[in-house]
Amino acid sequence: MSNHLEELPTLGVGASLSLSSQPDPVSLVRAKGGPSFVEYSGLVDVDEVIDEVEKIRAAGAPVLFHPSYINFCGSYPNSNAWLEATSKHIESVGSSWFAQDVAYCFWEEGPGYSTQLGYFIPLIFNQHSLELAVERVKEVQAKVAVPVAIEPPPVAFIIGSMPLFSFFGSLSNQTNCAILLDMGHLVSYEMASGRSVLAAIDELPVERVIEVHIAGGRLKEGDAGSIYVDAHECEIVEQTWQMLETMLPRLPNVKAVCYECEGVNESSVLATLKRIRKIVREKSNCDALVASLDNSE
Amino acid sequence: MSFQEQERALFDLLFDSSVRENFCKDSTTALHQYELNEAERNDFNTIRPDALELDAKIRADLLLSHFCRSFPVSFSILSSVDGGLDVLKRLVDVLTMRTASIERVTLFGRRIGESLNALSFSTADEQTRVSAILEAELGMAWTSATLKREVLENGQLHIKSTQLEQNWSSKNIKLAPYVCAAMIPESYETLKQLLCPDTECDLWRSLNKKPLAAARRKKLLEKDEPRLFIARAHVSHMSQCEPTVDQKTAELSEGFASLFQHVNGTVSVDYILEQLKQIGAQDEMLQSIKSSFKHLLESEMLEQV
């Protein structure tokens, strides 16, 4: 593994929250069994969020910035203004790394949040798409001072035949970047493609996986089987829990496990964090991550 | 190899319902219009049609929630008309989505206006009133987009000082930049309170669950309390990436609308008052009008030439 990833701090089990709505991040951080870090998907301009972020940090939790406006794939490059604002944001809040889904957040020459497309447009899984993704990731790395982590996005359908872990393994190796794996997104890929992600696990540089996400979702029954819909306000589906138990033992260098729980009430968040910690303790082979649990229980 | 053509096809599959329907029936034929070689076409064979349909539906729903924030009263009214919500859903298409993001909301609003004739309102007068409300919301969308584009292209704007001098009423006046005005049948704030009870973020969802009752729409639009609605777009948060634009609004009596026609940079408030005096306006009314003009100047909706 690249040294720059080994040196990253272990953040433990945390939560991804909205700064402006319930559950209140500061209240959660102060609660017994609360998150040991807070991830947020904020606005690009740090001055819009810095007051809220400072309150979280003052309560004792480090933060990770995880936005949804970077194109980590496709033909449309990121704007310099947005990348410079991102760099300033990351530096100001002290985010140890910078992760985001590899998907289209904007189309053509219209930088902006993925909400302008409804939500992310999925990437294309082929060689040409991979080459462009390498360009996009390097474009971000050139501006951002901390390690970049790439995340497979949620998908309802798949275009292209390159397996998920082949694509992300190669992208990570070619750009020397870290990886974030969202368990629900992996479930979504399996349902959309009919393939097991584990079929290509050998092509994933597992030592580069520094963060794991787990979040609520919904299963819709389609003509060809279940379709996974990412829905953080919902409960975590059983397949996602199983994916966490399957993947954790294979990931030796996880620094953070994040429960994405925007819109979930505080008591449910705390109960879920407890369950996640139990699974981490039982399944993770990452000593530093397991040791970090002692400080938060 | 044309990856760009694959991207174009992907975009069309998500936002062009006819391409999507054709694809779900026969993917090979549907993709003939794109310059793809066999391997590139085969990449699309992995798409599950049922999942593509679901994705497009959820995506359109999220986009409509977003558009609804700019046209809350219009959306609410249209929900009460037969086929109104379907019209809105159909407008989330490739034409809307291929428009530059900064102009997209304005285009969407214009297209709602063009669609009104296809809907059945109780009376022609009711449709006129709905059009007027849409015009007010479209005006705000347009000034917001114009101001945002100006800021992104040129940086911080320098707005003229609002300090009025002693002789302010003798100077010629005109509408300030990024101001829109429309005659609407009822106070905009009242319309919002009565028609959009949920927060704007959830309005689209709640209108789908429980559309506005047609009887409620009729009753509200039957009222004849027209107002001159004026709004000025202003930057509430400066940014090189995503400036936030808000609207400052004012409402004046119907009579003020006729005076507004003269606010074109060629006359002063004193001149307007003098003309009114000559046709018999009382002092009390003249003072009230002068005070309203002063308020509009102070709130930067009007400016001195």
Summarize pLDDT for B212-237 with one digit per residue, the tens. 999 999 999 988 889 999 999 999 99
Residue type, A43: L
Which architecture characterizes domain A3-295 according to CATH?
Alpha-Beta Barrel (3.20)
- A121 CB neighbours in chain B (<8 A) are 10-11, 14
The pLDDT value given to residue B59 = 97
pLDDT per residue as tens digits for the range B57-96: 999 999 999 999 999 999 999 999 999 999 999 999 999 9
Return the H-helix or E-strand segment holding B172. strand B172-175
Cβ pair A161:B46 closer than 8 A: yes
- B50 CB neighbours in chain A (<8 A) are 222-224, 227
- A156 CB neighbours in chain B (<8 A) are 48, 51-52, 54-55, 58
Return the H-helix or E-strand segment holding A180. strand A178-182
- A160 CB neighbours in chain B (<8 A) are 43, 46
Q: Report whether pLDDT(B113) > 60.
A: yes
Residue B65's alpha-carbon distances to A65, A118, B159, B251, B302, in angstroms, are 25, 9, 33, 27, 33
Closest CA to A147 of A217, A221, A208, A102: A208
Our CA-based measurement puts residue B53 at a distance from the nearest CA of chain A, in whole angstroms, of 9
* Candidates B16, B240, B246, partner chain A, best to mutate (most A CBs within 10 A): B240
Q: Report whether pLDDT(A295) > 90.
A: no
**Is residue B241 within 8 angstroms of chain A, CB to CB?**
yes
B159-168: long-range pairs with CB below 8 Å, 24+: B159/B234, B159/B300, B160/B300, B160/B303, B160/B304, B162/B297, B162/B298, B162/B299, B162/B300, B164/B294, B164/B297, B164/B298, B168/B269, B168/B294, B168/B297, B168/B304
The pLDDT value given to residue B162 = 65
The pLDDT value given to residue B160 = 62
Top pLDDT among B254 and A126 is at A126
Paired sense of beta strands A38-40 and A12-16, if any = parallel
Mean pLDDT on B128-139: 97
pLDDT interval class at B141 (50, 70, 90): very high
pLDDT interval class at B199 (50, 70, 90): low
- A126 CB neighbours in chain B (<8 A) are 3, 6, 40, 43
Interface A-B, measured as beta-carbon pairs within 8 A, has a size of 117
The pLDDT value given to residue A150 = 98
Nearest to B50 among A107, A111, A222 (CB): A222
- A129 CB neighbours in chain B (<8 A) are 3, 6
Q: Report whether pLDDT(B200) > 60.
A: no
Q: Report whether pLDDT(B261) > 90.
A: no
Cα B80 to Cα B93: distance, rounded to the nearest angstrom: 22
Top pLDDT among B293 and B262 is at B293
Top pLDDT among B258 and B245 is at B245
Cβ pair B6:A111 closer than 8 A: no
Mean pLDDT on B6-24: 97
The pLDDT value given to residue A294 = 82
Cα A14 to Cα A272: distance, rounded to the nearest angstrom: 11
> What does DSSP assign to residue B221?
H
The pLDDT value given to residue B260 = 84
Our CA-based measurement puts residue B111 at a distance from the nearest CA of chain A, in whole angstroms, of 18
Paired sense of beta strands A148-151 and A98-101, if any = parallel
Our CA-based measurement puts residue B235 at a distance from the nearest CA of chain A, in whole angstroms, of 14
- A43 CB neighbours in chain B (<8 A) are 242
Overall pTM > 0.90: yes
Span between the terminal Cα atoms of chain A, in Å: 30
* Candidates B12, B36, B44, B58, partner chain A, best to mutate (most A CBs within 10 A): B58
Half-sphere exposure of B160 (CA within 13 A, CB side): 17
Cβ pair A159:B6 closer than 8 A: yes
pLDDT per residue as tens digits for the range A84-95: 999 999 999 999
- A45 CB neighbours in chain B (<8 A) are 237, 239, 241-242
pLDDT per residue as tens digits for the range A15-52: 999 887 788 999 999 999 999 999 999 899 999 999 99
The pLDDT value given to residue A178 = 98
Most confident of A10-14, B122-126, B205-209: A10-14
pLDDT per residue as tens digits for the range B271-286: 999 999 999 989 999 9
Least confident of A2-6, A38-42, A238-242: A2-6
Our CA-based measurement puts residue A198 at a distance from the nearest CA of chain B, in whole angstroms, of 19
Closest residue of chain B to A125, computed from CA coordinates: B43
Closest residue of chain A to B48, computed from CA coordinates: A157
> In the block, which residue shows the tokens 């009133």?
B129
pLDDT interval class at A4 (50, 70, 90): confident
Cβ pair A192:B48 closer than 8 A: yes
Contact B170, B268 (CB under 8 A): yes
> In the block, which residue shows the tokens 């009460």?
B80
The pLDDT value given to residue A20 = 77
Nearest to B54 among A122, A126, A222 (CB): A222
Query: Prior bond to B197 cis, omega within 30?
Result: no
**Is residue B55 within 8 angstroms of chain A, CB to CB?**
yes
pLDDT interval class at B123 (50, 70, 90): very high
The pLDDT value given to residue B149 = 94
pLDDT per residue as tens digits for the range A55-83: 999 999 999 999 999 999 999 999 999 99
- B102 CB neighbours in chain A (<8 A) are 110
Cβ pair A45:B237 closer than 8 A: yes
Q: Report whether pLDDT(B132) > 60.
A: yes
The pLDDT value given to residue A40 = 96
Mean pLDDT on A186-200: 97
For chain A, percent of residues with pLDDT exceeding 90: 93
Our CA-based measurement puts residue B71 at a distance from the nearest CA of chain A, in whole angstroms, of 16
Q: Report whether pLDDT(B19) > 70.
A: yes
- A229 CB neighbours in chain B (<8 A) are 54, 58
Query: Quick one: residue B178, left, alpha or beta (phi over 0 = left, psi -120 to 50 = alpha)?
Result: left
The pLDDT value given to residue B255 = 84
Nearest to B48 among A43, A44, A157 (CB): A157
**Is residue B58 within 8 angstroms of chain A, CB to CB?**
yes
Cα B39 to Cα A232: distance, rounded to the nearest angstrom: 36
User: Please, which residues have CB within 8 angstroms of residue B211's CB and are 6 or more apart in sequence?
Assistant: B79, B80, B84, B85
Closest residue of chain A to B241, computed from CA coordinates: A82
Our CA-based measurement puts residue B201 at a distance from the nearest CA of chain A, in whole angstroms, of 13
Cα A260 to Cα A68: distance, rounded to the nearest angstrom: 14
The pLDDT value given to residue A2 = 57
